[in-house]
Structure 1
């Protein structure tokens, strides 16, 4: 990791340089699974939980008007070509602790990849979390949106969560403090830093075999070899977004370097030459066509972050 950069106390996000890396005008495309998007005004990679907490407290005192965005593996976000205003906190590779607790419980950090969490639980002889292997993000992102796959969702497993607020204050919270729905979580305006999951006892070999089976099915049905964010839209009640998009004749539709995947219509992929605006155009076009033909308004599962370039302002206005 690079040495901490001396931050200008007037213009930077911090009055005192944290221990982690701080960079201005930092490229973000390489930190997302779509591999597109503009830079962050400021990027901060904490070295550990204490560094994160103290840096947020410093930021709250020094630059409270500067917005803060948390980024994990970047698998469920589309960062627009104009980049992200303010401070981006990158947690991938940080807060990745995993610990077996008494009973059938585990404590996991929010920066841990969901696939790593699934494998850890299986090796501990705990089952019920195998579906996490199919979620291409971190536990923090999964907690934020109640991510799920193959019929499983994360919040039914949650015993408690740890969070940090914009002032750098840490909290322990119960599931009852949140309103949990399908790909939806509403609650305190804080960022998740970890969780305790309650699972069931099982055979490690069986759990590991189940994970391998699910990953084979994912590879068979999804375009994993191309940049994407995973599923773009939530499934509407009683239907599937992919079916509706395909029925609207949009499977394989291209715009710029981006394409609605011929393999799975709820994926937008690209050939390496796309811009975020190309992907966003396809997203809005799919919404418009499905609503026009079937009267169904598809809700994005992906989060759109940041500023469009001036030429893309018409796209922003269509949201």
Structure 2
């Protein structure tokens, strides 16, 4: 089994599994990107609000991999929403990454309190796509209702909606909305980590279903979860700065789960996010400026 691509709704292909760098400290990010690319990853996901795009760019240059082989994805922060603001946000990200073209550019949050700015920012992404500055555009953390509104007021259906998704939080309604519009579901936090549900801590690394499947396939619970994402047809962007964990997360292409095994993992869903509500973010509370 090989490193699988997924085809976006505009025909662009993207490696299904990528390295995420959320909360990766700047001083650790470059080495993580180099380790990932040298391991075989060809997809890196970052964001302006992670404040490590410069280090991602340095990793792209240091790795022994041609830039044309790497799918680079980043996100605009809400403080750069609005048409002209988003165009400038792109320029900041491209400059920090050291690239002329970004493969996938997303709006990081829906910003419902200023959805007019969200729409204007997305129209800027459409302009960047038409100009060839980006290869694909999309959104992140957008609910079914927000997707419907955005699609109704813009011209190009997003290629990707990056949302929180893992075995304890499977997001069936949001996935169905993405599928309805032909939007790829991309998963942040694909390996759940410690998780509190009904006052009890759930740990996927000791979850019997995942442990038993790991024993069957000689894989770790984390590898089973990532294979579950791939077998569902999702894109997943696990984060790590440890070379051994980066390699482990990539070693998921030599087996596949059966439909019954996939269903047994689906059944772990709690329906509880355990994270911040994306709609709660406002410019007043989270509109920190993105430096040049």
Q: Which has the higher contact order (CA 8 A, sep 6+)?
A: 2
Q: TM-score range by the shorter chain?
A: under 0.3
Report the TM-score when normalising by structure 2.
0.28
Structure with the larger helix share: 2
Report the TM-score when normalising by structure 1.
0.26
* Structure label with greater radius of gyration: 1
